[in-house]
A and B are shown apart, each in its own frame.
Chain A
Amino acid sequence: EPEVTQTPSHQVTQMGQEVILRCVPISNHLYFYWYRQILGQKVEFLVSFYNNEISEKSEIFDDQFSVERPDGSNFTLKIRSTKLEDSAMYFCASQGTRNEKLFFGSGTQLSVL
């Protein structure tokens, strides 16, 4: 089965630093998502992306967050100035068409010290 690939699997950063989390969605998929899961809590929607623009975002996705699809294969999440509370597992997901299932990557564990 095709896979969504996320790198790195673990990222440690200092508070206030910028981080970029990378994702390679499934080829030919058109819809892209970021979700996150704080340890012990539920998985939460952050943002959806289609046709090179954000289609929907949650309250969590404030001005410190941005997403980009810089080329035909990568999809990135940037956190400009990380805070302690940004520590979480970040999942990328992609979807072929609106009614198809989401495929999730294995996640990037972000630790902000």
Chain B
Amino acid sequence: QQQVKQSPQSLIVQKGGISIINCAYENTAFDYFPWYQQFPGKGPALLIAIRPDVSEKKEGRFTISFNKSAKQFSLHIMDSQPGDSATYFCAASRIQGAQKLVFGQGTRLTINP
């Protein structure tokens, strides 16, 4: 019930292409869905987050698409750049109470120049 499943495990995209990472959750009580970006030797950093009252949120080249009925959400990186190469984690939690994030397994994204 608490799991968040993320795919793919790794992804290679050409510079300028679109990177797409998918996540699925089980617990319908979750109402906060962030994406984190992690570079080697650093902690996860919040990239973008969405609440279930909207189906899409865009910030610059990063877009979250959210499908409440399917219990799925995805991260799209448009015009992917080599500097986007990192590990990406989706997560889910309840906005009320402690931010007890349940993370996906992570996707190692490589953008080839």
Residues of A with Cβ closer than 8 Å to B?
4, 31, 33, 35, 41-45, 48, 50, 55-56, 58, 91, 93, 95, 98-99, 101-102, 104-107
Residue of A nearest to B104 (CB): A42
Partner of B99, one of A58, A91, A95: A95
Given A99-B95, A104-B44, A45 contacting B101 (CB threshold 8 A): yes
**Interface range on chain B: under 10, 10 to 19, 20 to 34, or 35 or more?**
20 to 34
Q: What is the count of residue pairs linking A and B with beta-carbon distances less than 8 angstroms?
A: 56
B interface, by DSSP: helix, strand, loop or mixed? loop
CA distance A45 to B36 in the complex (A): 15
Residues of B with Cβ closer than 8 Å to A?
34, 36, 41-46, 49, 89, 91, 95-106
Q: How far is the CB of B25 from chain A (nearest CB, A)?
A: 13
